[in-house]
Amino acid sequence: MEYALVAEHWGQVLRYLKDKSKSAKTTEMCATDILRYIRRKNERGIKQPALFRQRRGEEYEKMIEYLVEEKKYDLLLIKFLVDEDEFWDVTLELTSY
């Protein structure tokens, strides 16, 4: 899918999740940080992409740890986002360009 269409779809999914969350601003910030983290990791190469896509493995756990410890997001918010299949799939698609 063309990058602009994927980016637009990501925005639509994010708006939906913001509406479902307790704090739209924090949800948007967390989603953006997830996107940035995966983009950075993709530049260096994710060693086990299949596990990462399945939300498993060392690299996935490091991302969660980074978001909790460095960015100070609540684990429930992170799980709310990454456990949403459509958000996760479109985020991975968006970061593959």
- Asked whether the whole model's pTM tops 0.85, one would answer yes
Report the pLDDT value the prediction gives residue 65, as an integer from 0 to 100.
Answer: 98
- Predicted confidence (pLDDT) per residue in 35-90, tens digit: 999 999 988 888 899 999 999 999 999 999 999 999 999 999 999 999 999 999 99
What angle (nearest 5°) sits at the alpha carbon of residue 14, between those of residues 28 and 64?
Answer: 60
Report the pLDDT value the prediction gives residue 44, as an integer from 0 to 100.
Answer: 82
Residue 1: band (very low, low, confident or very high) from pLDDT cuts 50, 70, 90: low
HSE-up (13 A, CA, CB side) for residue 31: 28
Domains in the chain: boundaries: 3-95
pLDDT at 93 over 80: yes
pLDDT at 97 over 70: no
Do 48 and 37 form a contact (C-beta atoms < 8 A)?
no
Judged by DSSP in three states, 89 sits in: helix
Do 79 and 90 form a contact (C-beta atoms < 8 A)?
no
> Which whole number is the average pLDDT over 12-41?
97
Judged by DSSP in three states, 29 sits in: helix
